[in-house]
Amino acid sequence: MKTTTLIKAGALGLATFLAASCAQQNNRLTDKEKAEGWELLFNGEDLTGWRDYNGTELTVPWHVVDGCIQAKGTGSDASGYIVTDKEYENFILSWDWKLSKGGNSGMLYHVVERPEFAVPYVTGPEYQLIDEPNFPEKLEDWQKLGVDYAMYLPDTTKMHINPYGEWNNSRIVFDNGHVEHWLNGEKILEFEAWSDDWFARKNSGKWADAPEYGLGHKGVICLQDHGYPASFRNIKIKELPRKAGKEVSLFNGRDLTGWEVYGTEKWYVDNGLLVCESGPDKGYGYLATREYYDDYDLSVEFKQEKDGNSGVFIRSWVEPVARVHGWQVEVAPYNCDTGGIYESYGRGWLVQIPEEKENILKYGDWNTMRIKVQGDNVQTWLNGREMVNINDEAIGKGKGRIALQIHDGGGIKVCWRNLRLKTL
């Protein structure tokens, strides 16, 4: 064998060895990371733990190449998303990424899966990944690298970016509503989710017609194939604790701040009371909290001045224009199961109230309803008497808003006050 051939063979062997050594160093946790609670989301060998968005298996165009999860680049705005099997709430998420020339991808979190949500970005916030210098179209500032997509912009003076074809590292911190974006070791962005400023941005921009965008406190992690090859490795997450025990007054006694109206029925404040009243359309109407509340102990007082067919929805979500899905704790006239639980657009009654408990309701006077929701357990009390104690897997998987309902048919008027909860 000629000397040049030996040199080439040696060089090839060295390159193969270095590539193998590099692959062995990636997608692994150190003993220190394991002790700190870090978890790998990609094992470097296969796509175990990942599946299609809204699916049960992996069929979309992603594969493993040289120890990296790689998008083949055949996805689109409407397809090509993969998600983790597990949901995450509060966390530090770190990953390495590499784009193709002009590439476009993203890391989404708190993604809520439901058949009614065709794509994950209508619920999940996104850390944008894009090769700005070579992208073929003009980009708005809110579409550029490192942004909280269509919401918050990074400090570009702190951004040190390796070009396409080279590796970068990004990190998202989500700690009970406090959010940080990091790029190559520098914090480039931070904001408070669900603040007044956050809702003002959500309701005035791209997400104005996506009522459930960004509201989930918990959801799956999602990778995006947006029509360009993209590679990911060293995807790891450290879960952070939930801060429970927060006391929230849902109604300020002056206006509907913190609430959103769905439908054409009447919702207004009169002498410090929150009033729902049938409008001329005599349809269903809803007043929903702008925020999600998952685990909590809620107390509300209500008085039925006319036909009192109403209710309190838990873990509910809005399908535009005014269709609310979820579970309703019933508020109704005598012998109509006040305190029972009804599933809208689903199984119907889950628990009705025995006849001997119907007289607990004080029709035409003030009543106190207590609702405790924790995991898959729901308990209700009316005027201090237990009405329901149920465990239900579907409720346990639910996430969403608290919403007051006014039933269709007209002639209904119910007053509410002292709506308070404590997070669990």
Question: Tens place of pLDDT for every residue, the chain, 424 residues?
Answer: 444 443 344 434 433 333 343 456 899 999 999 999 999 999 999 999 999 999 999 998 899 999 999 999 988 888 899 999 999 999 999 999 999 999 999 999 999 999 999 999 999 999 999 999 999 999 999 999 999 999 999 999 999 999 999 999 999 999 999 999 999 999 999 999 999 999 999 999 999 999 999 999 999 999 999 889 999 999 999 999 999 999 999 999 999 999 999 999 999 999 999 999 999 999 999 999 999 999 999 999 999 998 889 999 999 999 877 789 999 999 999 999 999 999 999 999 999 999 999 999 999 999 999 999 999 999 999 999 999 999 999 999 999 999 999 999 999 999 999 999 999 9
Tell me: domain 247-423, CATH 2.40.50.420, correct? no
Neighbours of 293 (CB within 10 A): 20
The two three-digit tokens of residue 206, written as one number: 């791209």
Nearest to 29 by CA among 38, 21, 20, 19: 38
Q: What is the pTM of this model?
A: 0.90
**Could you tell me the residue ranges of all domains in the chain?**
31-239, 247-423
Is the separation of the CB atoms in 292 and 213 below 8 Å? no
174: its two tokens: 């989500």
Residues 369 and 300 sit within 8 Å (Cβ to Cβ): yes
Are 31-239 and 247-423 in the same CATH fold? Answer: yes
- Encoded tokens for 259: 């609430």
Q: Residue 133 in contact with residue 111, Cβ under 8 Å?
A: no
φ, ψ (nearest 5 deg) of residue 30: -75, 165
Question: What is the DSSP secondary structure assignment for residue 32, as one 8-state letter?
Answer: H
Q: What element of type H or E holds 389?
A: strand 385-391
31-239 has CATH 2.60.120.560 classification: yes
Is the torsion defined by CA of 375, 377, 381, 385 positive or negative? Answer: negative
Kindly calculate the radius of gyration of the chain based on its CA atoms and give it in whole angstroms: 26
The confidence score (pLDDT) of residue 17 equals 32
